[in-house]
Amino acid sequence: MREELITSGRLNPNVDPYLEIWHWQIPLYLFLGGLAAGILFFASLYVILGKENEYRGAVRRAPIIVPFILMIGLGALFLDLRHKLFFWQLYTTIKLESPMSWGAWTLMAITPISIIWVAIHIQEYFPGWEWKNVILRDLNAFFLKNKVGLAWVTIVLSVILGIYTGILFSAFNARPLWNTSILGPLFLTSGLSAGAAAIILFAQSKKEKVVFAKIDIMLIVIELFLIIHMFMGFRASTQVQIDAADMFLGGAYTAPFWIFVVVLGMIVPAILELMELRHKKIPVYIPVVLVLFGSLMLRFIISYAGQMSRWLY
């Protein structure tokens, strides 16, 4: 049998024998960023549609967690940097070809906006709240008056945030598993699905819960469709991408991916949500936790498996 044996004398830490440069911080951030994008997307969507009062959970209640999860995500990103004291260099330049530069600037914009969003809805949680400072009161009045404009800015930024988490990976042609443009829409859909699931927890009216359960089922179906397309694309591509897909179709990542991401993170919660719509009694947090778990696992598995996929030469 004809064989090719490649021996390399290189043994750089975190690079050989296979790349392991990004650890838990990156997939955790990608999950939190996607979740934040999902919640802010629906919050601003229902403001734009003028249905704020019907969807109080989405517009007023759920966004309270967004600044916190964004800050945890930013903390994780900071921990990932190896030259930490120089992090501010991100904000000395705008590099249009670098997804990470896009991400850094988007976070710079969306984090304060998420805080503003929580601030103008603070009375939802503290009904008697009054801003004591005159400037804060004026700002509060200004943003409340221009809420639809704020919602438009937020919805655009949330889509960029959601889609960039996937593009960050897909821009690397050195890692064949990541090098597919499906990853952007897949991560965006997964983030929206996680956001919709989280909103179900905050929804107070039966109607809102039902609407978001339906949205979530629809998003899960789209996700499954994108995943199938991703593997079809890999199987029809070059040898390195066939090898990348094989990690999930019989290789090392087969069991974790299909069990944790597809079955437990998508199919089971979708079935539970369907049963709920048929008036079966299902504790609401079970499908929600499963969707969030699946979304997190998707990022972890794609991140680690992608670093193992490579060109051989």
Partner 1 sequence: MRYAMAVDTKKCVGCADCVVACQTENNVPIGYCRDWIVEVTDGTYPQLEIEIRSERCNHCDNSPCVRCCPTGASHYVEGGIVKVTPHECIGCGACITSCPYDARYGHPDGYVDKCTFCDHRIQDGLQPACVSVCPTKCMYFGDLDDANSEVSKVLKKRKFKTLIPQAGTKPQVYYLI
Tell me which of 3, 50, 135, 206 binds partner 1, using CB under 8 A. 3
Assess 13 for contact with partner 1 (CB under 8 A): yes
Say how far apart CA 231 and CA 151 lie, in whole Å: 36
Q: For residues 306 and 175, give the distance between their C-alpha atoms in angstroms, rounded to a whole number.
A: 6
Tokens linked to 160: 């960029």
> How far is the C-alpha of 154 from the C-alpha of 145, rounded, in Å?
15
Interface with partner 1, residue 11, by CB under 8 A: yes
Binding mask 21-40 for partner 1 (x = CB under 8 A): xx------------------
Residue type at 10? Answer: R
CB of 210 to partner 1, least distance (A): 42
- Running DSSP on this structure, what letter comes out for residue 92? G
Handedness of CA 39, 257, 232, 269 (dihedral sign): negative
Task: Examine residue 305 and tell whether it contacts partner 1 (CB under 8 A).
Answer: no
Contact call for residue 135 and partner 1 (CB under 8 A): no
The C-alpha atoms of residue 288 and residue 296 are separated, in whole angstroms, by 12
Q: Taking the C-alpha atoms of 233, 228, 300 and 69 in order, what is their torsion angle to the nearest 10 degrees?
A: 110
133 binds partner 1 (CB under 8 A): no
What would the two tokens of residue 292 be? 């969030």
Residue 40's closest CA among 117, 112, 105, 107? 117
Which of 18/142 has CB closer to partner 1? 18
| C-beta closer to partner 1: residue 74 or 267 | 74
Q: How far is the CB of 92 from partner 1 (least distance, A)?
A: 7
Sign of CA dihedral 22, 28, 32, 35: positive
Do 218 and 58 form a contact (C-beta atoms < 8 A)? no
| Comparison of 16 and 138: residue with beta carbon closer to partner 1 | 16
Q: Does 243 bind partner 1 (CB under 8 A)?
A: no
Q: Which is nearer to partner 1, 84 or 132 (CB)?
A: 84
Residue 204 binding partner 1, by CB under 8 A? no
Closer Cβ to partner 1, 33 or 195, answer by number? 33
Residue 19 makes contact with partner 1 by CB under 8 A: yes
Size of the residue set binding partner 1 (CB under 8 A): 48
| Per-residue CA distances from 7 to 16, 129, 257, 306 (Å) | 12, 68, 31, 22
Q: Please check whether residue 306 is in contact with residue 46, taking contact to mean a CB–CB distance below 8 angstroms.
A: no
Which CB, 123 or 173, lies closer to partner 1? 173
206 alpha-carbon distance from chain centroid: 26
Our finding on whether 301 is near partner 1 (CB under 8 A) is: no
79 to 108: interface string for partner 1, x by CB under 8 A: -xxxxx-xx-xx-xx-x-xxxxx-xx----
Contact status: 313 vs partner 1 (CB under 8 A)? yes
- Of 11-19, 218-226, 229-237, 270-278, the window that binds partner 1 (rule: CB under 8 A) is 11-19
Q: ∠ CA 282-283-286 to the nearest 5 degrees?
A: 100
Residues 151-180 that bind partner 1 (CB under 8 A): 171-175
Interface with partner 1 (CB under 8 A), residue from 123, 146, 238, 254: 238
Residues forming the site for partner 1 (CB under 8 A): 1-16, 19, 21-22, 80-84, 86-87, 89-90, 92-93, 95, 97-101, 103-104, 171-175, 238, 307, 310-311, 313
